[in-house]
Amino acid sequence: MGLTHADLQNMSREATAMYPSMIPPVLSEYTEDEKQIAAYQIGFTQRLRKSAYYVVEATKSTELPKYSDKYRTSANSQPTLKKKDLHAPYFPPNLFDAYFNPKKKRQAVKLKAKKMNIDDLGEDDEEKEPSDASDAGSDAPESDYDVDEEYDNDYADNYFDNGEGDDNDDLGGGGGGDEGGGGDYD
């Protein structure tokens, strides 16, 4: 190993520091360029937050109001996008119309709903069904009943024993003495 018994005896018995002492770096003064860059960045973020393009999440009415909520920007305080400020060909037509004409979009969706004719459905089903000869072999009636439903019930999943009534197990209360068993058996 290279160390003798005498070398070990001469070593200091004091505990050494776990980590060497660290000299933290000293922050130098900001240069004019760094101050200018910081001012540009702060100004840019402020302009974005005040613009109509800054998206603010709508708060749900089920949430409890917090103290910090009064300092958050709300959707009502943000400026809205105006159709005259935007160049429509840059946007997808359905997106542009959905934002500026939401009622028109809803009406278009309602009109698209196809009316169904029950008589036509019956004719289509007859065309798609296989021949009656293949059904003749199976006389067993078809049922939609699932066998697993018989074994599934809510009690099996939601069983909870809170321990009430454990003190009342009626052991030893039948006049058979204090031995607390099932009575006298000889």
Same domain? For 71 and 96 the reply is no
Q: Is the pLDDT of residue 184 over 80?
A: no
Same domain? For 38 and 76 the reply is yes
Q: What is the pLDDT of residues 65-104, one digit of tens each?
A: 778 777 776 666 677 777 887 888 888 888 888 877 777 6
Range of the domain at 118: 81-126
CA distance 186 to 177: 14
List the beta strands (DSSP E) in the chain.
none
CA distance 61 to 40: 37
Same domain? For 73 and 97 the reply is no
Domains: count for the chain? 2
Q: Is the pLDDT of residue 55 over 80?
A: no
Same domain? For 76 and 108 the reply is no
Q: Is the pLDDT of residue 37 over 90?
A: yes
Q: Which tokens sit at 78?
A: 């943000």
The model carries a pTM of 0.33
